[in-house]
Amino acid sequence: MNLLERTRTLQGIHSRGSHAQADSWLLDELIVVLNLHSDRYHRDNEPLISDPEFDALLAWLRELESALDEPIRMDSPSRRVGAMPLDGFEKVRHAQQLLSLGNAFNGEELQAWYERALRRLELPLDSNLDLVAELKIDGLALSLVYDDGVLVQAATRGDGQVGENITENARTVRSIPLRLSDTVNTTIERAEVRGEVYFPKSSFEKLNESLFSAGQKPFANPRNAASGSFRLLDSSITASRGLAFFAYSTGPLSAPIAETHSQELNVLSSWGFQINAESKGFKGIVAVVEFCASWVDRREMLDYEIDGVVVKFDDLQIQERLGNVSNAPRWAVAYKFPARESTTTLLDIVINVGRTGMITPEAVLEPVEFGGVTVSQATLHNADYILKRDIRIGDTVVVKRAGDVIPAVVSVVETDGRNALPVWRMPDRCPACDSVLEQIEGEVDFYCVSSTCPEQFTRLVEHFASRDAMDIEGFGSKMAVLMVEQGLIRTLDQVYSLTSTDLLELEGFGEKKATKLIESIVASKEVPVARLLFGIGIRHVGKTVAEILINQFLSISSVLEQSETELLEVDGIGPVIAKSIVDWISIPGNRELIASLSNLGLKMEEESGPQDGGNLAFVGKTFVVTGTLASMGRAEAGEFIKKHGGKVTSSVSAKTSYVVVGENPGSKAQKAEKLGIPILSETELIHLAQV
Ligand code: IVH
């Protein structure tokens, strides 16, 4: 069995809970496997499993060990942090060990950590001591030594006792001061500053793009990129990579600088270090739990990766009194977020054909559970994405879920023997209709351009009936497949000629279900016109674009009459969309489709006027609002106009009736003047409504 298979076996045993107690095979196996992973991570910079997977196995080992009545084995990974440093760098012994952190995975564990500390301090369990919660930056720990305020040595953590001398690399990072600025005018003889070097997400994406273009392998995540860039023997490359550093504590100091951790952070900031702005002080643990949980989703908005929140007792004397257990302090704990990344095997790559003919490759995965859900499919974006990363069927891949986004394959893990796997090739032909696939100039995606592709049409029918389009209840993906397969629907308008008799002949349909579906189909004729425009599936015309177009041109036929140049004049419509609309109407059958939908009684125009008939000064008139109005917001002004029966559009054209102008109006007001369109102030607009 290879390492990954051995790992999966252990994970299986763990999740089944079948070995609640350690037997000697299980202990041996866990220790050996964890040590091998640790080497891959620290020594080779090429992890095979994700950090949370590693942490989960290590936590399990610790749990088993603590239940045993014998000393922890010398080679157990629970005895040490990390692996030995690489040979290429000089080794440095840290003046004081760089500690690791214990983990808490939920509110109860956080609470339990706090109470353990209070008990040790012999304080009542309802005491509210000062705590500081900080983001746990997912980068690389560094120790920086300053002699008389000058950076003399920078070292990685290594195993906590001995790290690597990477001073030259550290000097290239702009947020690491080469000399401490001393605002209090007392030069400190020797100070060690600790913190995390990290890769901003934005520079990470740029780096991966440039690695791609140079034909090199991209990094799986910003953490690997930070560690890879930092351990380069050639520091000039490190310099070019845009790394950054957050300081979060001190090591040994020749003179004390603070009494609390938060004061210490202030001093570090006055010395010129970047301190993370999100850290927050609390009294007691209750509100800390909320703060930690709030970052699970908010982390998406940050320009750096975090993998948890570190909670620390603020008072340095209390820290001192609490002390450490082996290599972790009792005065701090890491609240770890649920995993967003995992590794698994890529079983297959299937090709999907979308409603516009766009081809999207999808990964079929050996199911893995992480962050509370089982993932067995993930997007591979497009052919280019797969080829640049050299993703092959049979590979071990890293899969990531972020926020609500669909899981994506982000990278390949280098494994022995993967070179023997065949290189993936984009198929030449559409899997559904066998026509030759084409790449549109300027786009990375491949398309099936056949107008008779059954798969494309099925997806189009599904899209047409979907909630954001015609919203036909009971008409989902399965129904679309069935209708198209049975030949009941060959063009979109035929959705409206379906009869109960047609439906009753289909499997699974009874009287009641058939009647209900027909009713929903009839009801869908009433949806607003922008939804219909979205529903007919013009490439690049999404929900918002459809709304912009209808706002501007008021009806589908008017949208489809416009030339590319006219469309381009509309705010929010670019060349790709404009061309796609013009192309769509030139496809045989589409003009007829629109005529037929209109004959069937679907809404082809924006309903004009409000319920009560509206104000005559507004009905049938088109308004553009620009600049800052004195009392109303722009959206509010829009609502005001609509309420009185007017239309609001985003760009000025000859068809605009009025332009409402506030402070700092810009080009729209100029254009109105040029076209001779009446300009109104906010007060005049309000007057108009009172006419
Ligand atoms: S405090 C004894 N604060 O997390 C205290 N660590 O598992 C140890 N880390 O590699 C460090 N952000 O580099 C602390 N705000 C923060 C941190 C942080 C990230 C890293 C640290 C270490 C790991 C601990």
pLDDT-derived band at 82 (thresholds 50, 70, 90) equals: very low
Q: Residue 95: is its pLDDT beyond 70?
A: yes
pLDDT-derived band at 611 (thresholds 50, 70, 90) equals: low
Cα–chain center distance at 209:
18
Q: Residue 172: is its pLDDT beyond 70?
A: yes
411 alpha carbon to ligand 1 midpoint, in Å? 26
Question: How high does pLDDT run on average in the chain?
Answer: 88
In this structure, the number of other CB atoms found within 10 A of the CB of residue 107 comes to 16
Q: Residue 690: is its pLDDT beyond 70?
A: yes
* Pairing status of strand 622-626 against strand 306-313: unpaired
DSSP state, residue 390:
T
Average pLDDT over residues 374-401: 92
Rounded distance between C-alpha atoms, residue 474 and residue 466, angstroms:
10
Supply the pLDDT for residue 277.
Answer: 93
pLDDT-derived band at 336 (thresholds 50, 70, 90) equals: very high
Pair of tokens at residue 658: 């009025």
Average pLDDT over residues 201-225: 83
Residue nearest to atom 16 of ligand 1 (CA): 136
Q: Single out the catalytic residue among 91, 136, 525, 647.
A: 136
Q: Where are the beta strands (DSSP E) in 504-657?
A: 622-626, 647-648
Q: Residue 24: is its pLDDT beyond 70?
A: yes
Q: Is 330 in the pocket of ligand 1 (CB under 6 A)?
A: no
Q: Is 98 in the pocket of ligand 1 (CB under 6 A)?
A: no
| Cβ 628 vs Cβ 531: under 8 Å | no
Average pLDDT over residues 145-165: 91
208 alpha carbon to ligand 1 midpoint, in Å? 26
Q: Residue 2: is its pLDDT beyond 50?
A: yes
Average pLDDT over residues 330-356: 92
Rounded distance between C-alpha atoms, residue 46 and residue 413, angstroms:
7
Q: Is 334 in the pocket of ligand 1 (CB under 6 A)?
A: yes
Residue nearest to atom 18 of ligand 1 (CA): 136
Q: Residue 18: is its pLDDT beyond 80?
A: no
Q: Residue 165: is its pLDDT beyond 60?
A: yes
Which stretch of 35-44, 472-481, 590-599, 675-684 has the lowest confidence by average pLDDT? 35-44
Supply the pLDDT for residue 609.
Answer: 54
Higher local confidence (pLDDT), 422 or 39: 422
pLDDT-derived band at 20 (thresholds 50, 70, 90) equals: low
Supply the pLDDT for residue 86.
Answer: 47
Average pLDDT over residues 609-621: 75
Residue whose CB lies within 8 A of the most ligand 1 atoms, among 137, 140, 318, for a mutation test: 137
Pair of tokens at residue 41: 């991570």
Which stretch of 29-38, 422-431, 493-502, 574-583 has the lowest confidence by average pLDDT? 29-38
| Cβ 130 vs Cβ 313: under 8 Å | yes
Q: Is 445 in the pocket of ligand 1 (CB under 6 A)?
A: no
Q: Is 159 in the pocket of ligand 1 (CB under 6 A)?
A: no
Supply the pLDDT for residue 19.
Answer: 65
Supply the pLDDT for residue 610.
Answer: 60
| Cβ 176 vs Cβ 170: under 8 Å | yes
Residue nearest to atom 6 of ligand 1 (CA): 136
Pair of tokens at residue 144: 């920086």
Q: Residue 350: is its pLDDT beyond 90?
A: yes
Q: Is 311 in the pocket of ligand 1 (CB under 6 A)?
A: no
| Cβ 397 vs Cβ 391: under 8 Å | yes
Q: Is 573 in the pocket of ligand 1 (CB under 6 A)?
A: no
Supply the pLDDT for residue 119.
Answer: 96
Q: Specify which of 23-32, 247-256, 664-673 reaches the highest per-range mean pLDDT.
A: 247-256
**Residues 566-591: tens digit of each pLDDT:** 999 888 899 999 999 999 999 889 99
Supply the pLDDT for residue 405.
Answer: 66
142 alpha carbon to ligand 1 midpoint, in Å? 10
Q: Is 329 in the pocket of ligand 1 (CB under 6 A)?
A: yes
Residue whose CB lies within 8 A of the most ligand 1 atoms, among 103, 134, 142, 248, for a mutation test: 248
Q: Is 271 in the pocket of ligand 1 (CB under 6 A)?
A: no
The angle subtended at Cα 647 by Cα 645 and Cα 649, nearest 5°, is 165
Higher local confidence (pLDDT), 35 or 596: 596
Instruction: Write the CB contacts of 404 (distance below 8 Å, at least 6 apart in sequence).
Output: none
Which stretch of 273-282, 351-360, 646-655 has the lowest confidence by average pLDDT? 646-655
Rounded distance between C-alpha atoms, residue 564 and residue 577, angstroms:
9
| Cβ 333 vs Cβ 104: under 8 Å | yes
100 alpha carbon to ligand 1 midpoint, in Å? 7
141 alpha carbon to ligand 1 midpoint, in Å? 7
Instruction: Write the CB contacts of 310 (distance below 8 Å, at least 6 apart in sequence).
Output: 101, 133, 134, 135, 136, 248, 332, 333, 334, 335
Average pLDDT over residues 230-256: 85
Q: Where are the beta strands (DSSP E) in 226-340?
A: 244-253, 280-283, 306-313, 324-325, 328-329, 332-336
302 alpha carbon to ligand 1 midpoint, in Å? 18
Q: Please give the C-alpha separations between residue 428 and each of 267, 362, 379, 388, in angstroms, as whole numbers.
A: 63, 16, 20, 18
132 alpha carbon to ligand 1 midpoint, in Å? 13
Q: Specify which of 165-179, 193-207, 308-322, 677-691 reaches the highest per-range mean pLDDT.
A: 308-322
Q: Is 319 in the pocket of ligand 1 (CB under 6 A)?
A: no
Residue whose CB lies within 8 A of the most ligand 1 atoms, among 223, 310, 325, for a mutation test: 310
Nearest to 494 by CA among 604, 589, 605: 589
Rounded distance between C-alpha atoms, residue 18 and residue 64, angstroms:
13
Q: Is 136 a catalytic residue?
A: yes
Residue nearest to atom 23 of ligand 1 (CA): 100
Instruction: Write the CB contacts of 268 (distance below 8 Å, at least 6 apart in sequence).
Output: 193, 247, 250, 275
Domains of the chain: 3-81 (1.10.287), 109-336 (3.30.470.30), 341-439 (2.40.50.140), 454-526 (1.10.150.20), 529-599 (1.10.150.20), 622-690 (3.40.50.10190)
Backbone dihedral region for residue 655 (phi beyond 0: left; psi -120 to 50: alpha; all else: beta): alpha
Is the overall model pTM greater than 0.75, yes or no? no
Q: Residue 537: is its pLDDT beyond 70?
A: yes
In this structure, the number of other CB atoms found within 10 A of the CB of residue 469 comes to 22
pLDDT-derived band at 83 (thresholds 50, 70, 90) equals: very low
SS3 522: helix
Residue whose CB lies within 8 A of the most ligand 1 atoms, among 138, 196, 313, for a mutation test: 196
311 alpha carbon to ligand 1 midpoint, in Å? 10
Rounded distance between C-alpha atoms, residue 64 and residue 55, angstroms:
14
Q: Is 101 in the pocket of ligand 1 (CB under 6 A)?
A: yes
Q: Given the CA of residue 331, which atom of ligand 1 is nearest to it?
A: 2
628 alpha carbon to ligand 1 midpoint, in Å? 46
pLDDT-derived band at 558 (thresholds 50, 70, 90) equals: very high
pLDDT-derived band at 404 (thresholds 50, 70, 90) equals: low
Average pLDDT over residues 293-301: 89
Can you give 129-170 as a three-state secondary structure string?
A: CEEEEEEEECCEEEEEEEECCEEEEEEECCCCCEEEECHHHH
Q: Is 332 in the pocket of ligand 1 (CB under 6 A)?
A: yes
Residue nearest to atom 13 of ligand 1 (CA): 141
Which stretch of 21-25, 494-498, 500-504 has the lowest confidence by average pLDDT? 21-25
Which stretch of 231-240, 348-357, 546-555, 613-622 has the lowest confidence by average pLDDT? 231-240
